[in-house]
């Protein structure tokens, strides 16, 4: 899968994409990254990419032309930019479902905004999907783009190696994850729950499901509406 990242700061991505599983995935060719800098599509001496907003107000707006030329050059060189996402707080919320969708694509282009955003005409000229990673404002779209890249790449078949899957385990499908423990058995006086040492896989699965339900009810009651729940789950939630 090919990611083309449109950014004024390609160096921002160096260490994040250059370590751990992500480095392995790009070394093996499972995912690849190309960077396009809109500054390279400017004609003035200062390589200007932004200007003051019409109508006044704070901040600067990224001009349409350098971006349009950048997208045009991607179309010309690779043939297909694939889906074009624009990271912006005004966008549609990024979700695991969207990561799953993107992982099916051969190529995805991600535009990282800076300043107050882009000249709105860009969205009329190209088929661009604004995407947000949450209800807060970052300095620019680079951090957000990294989240999209990582969540998507780990769902590309082969990324996690052998039998591991990037998807949640079935006990917590659609729910937040149940708690995990490892050695030692007792830490600072706190013992690992007995059931996890029982070797009884059915009871362990039931315990994990119950924990996932309780954690989700506590931290994210909103996602319980969407989760597939059995009548037994509903009983647990009533307790």
Enumerate binding residues for ligand ADE (CB under 6 A): 87-89, 113, 132-134, 136-138, 140-141, 144
Q: Which is nearer to ligand ADE, 86 or 155 (CB)?
A: 86
Q: How far is the CB of 159 from ligand ADE (least distance, A)?
A: 23
Measured on CA atoms in the order 20, 175, 100, 10, is the torsion positive or negative? Answer: negative
Q: Which is nearer to ligand ADE, 87 or 176 (CB)?
A: 87
Q: Which is nearer to ligand ADE, 49 or 88 (CB)?
A: 88
The conformational region for residue 172 under phi > 0 = left, psi -120 to 50 = alpha, else beta, is: alpha
The span from the CA of 25 to the CA of 13, in Å, is 15
167 DSSP assignment? S
Q: How far is the CB of 151 from ligand ADE (least distance, A)?
A: 13
Q: How far is the CB of 8 from ligand ADE (least distance, A)?
A: 13
Q: How far is the CB of 146 from ligand ADE (least distance, A)?
A: 11
Q: How many residues are recorded in the chain?
A: 239
At 38 the three-state DSSP class reads: helix
Q: Which is nearer to ligand ADE, 99 or 144 (CB)?
A: 144
Q: How far is the CB of 139 from ligand ADE (least distance, A)?
A: 7
Q: Which is nearer to ligand ADE, 54 or 136 (CB)?
A: 136
Long-range contact set of residues 134-140: C-beta below 8 Å, sequence gap at least 24: 134/93, 135/89, 136/89, 137/89, 138/89, 139/114, 140/8, 140/9, 140/112, 140/113, 140/114
């Amino acid at each position: 899968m090919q990611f083309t990242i449109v950014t004024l700061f390609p160096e921002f991505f160096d260490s994040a994409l250059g370590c751990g599983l992500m480095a392995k995935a790009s070394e093996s060719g499972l995912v690849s990254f190309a960077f396009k800098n809109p500054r390279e599509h400017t004609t003035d001496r200062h390589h200007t990419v932004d200007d003051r907003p019409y109508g006044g107000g704070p901040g600067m707006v990224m001009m349409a032309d350098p971006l349009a030329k950048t997208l045009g050059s991607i179309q010309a060189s690779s043939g297909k930019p694939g889906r074009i996402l624009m990271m912006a707080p005004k966008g549609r919320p990024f979700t695991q479902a969207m990561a799953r969708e993107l992982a099916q694509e051969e190529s995805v282009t991600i535009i990282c905004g800076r300043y107050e955003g882009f000249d709105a005409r860009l969205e009329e000229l190209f088929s661009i999907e604004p995407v947000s990673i949450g209800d807060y404002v970052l300095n620019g779209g680079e951090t957000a783009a990294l989240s999209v890249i990582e969540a998507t790449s780990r769902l590309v078949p082969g990324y996690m190696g052998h039998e591991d899957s990037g998807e949640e385990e079935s006990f917590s499908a659609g729910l937040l994850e149940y708690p995990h423990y490892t050695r030692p058995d007792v830490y600072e006086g706190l013992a690992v729950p007995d059931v996890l040492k029982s070797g009884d896989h059915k009871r362990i699965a039931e315990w994990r499901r119950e924990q996932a339900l309780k954690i989700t009810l506590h931290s994210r009651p909103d996602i319980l509406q969407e989760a597939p729940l059995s009548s037994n789950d509903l009983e647990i939630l009533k307790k």
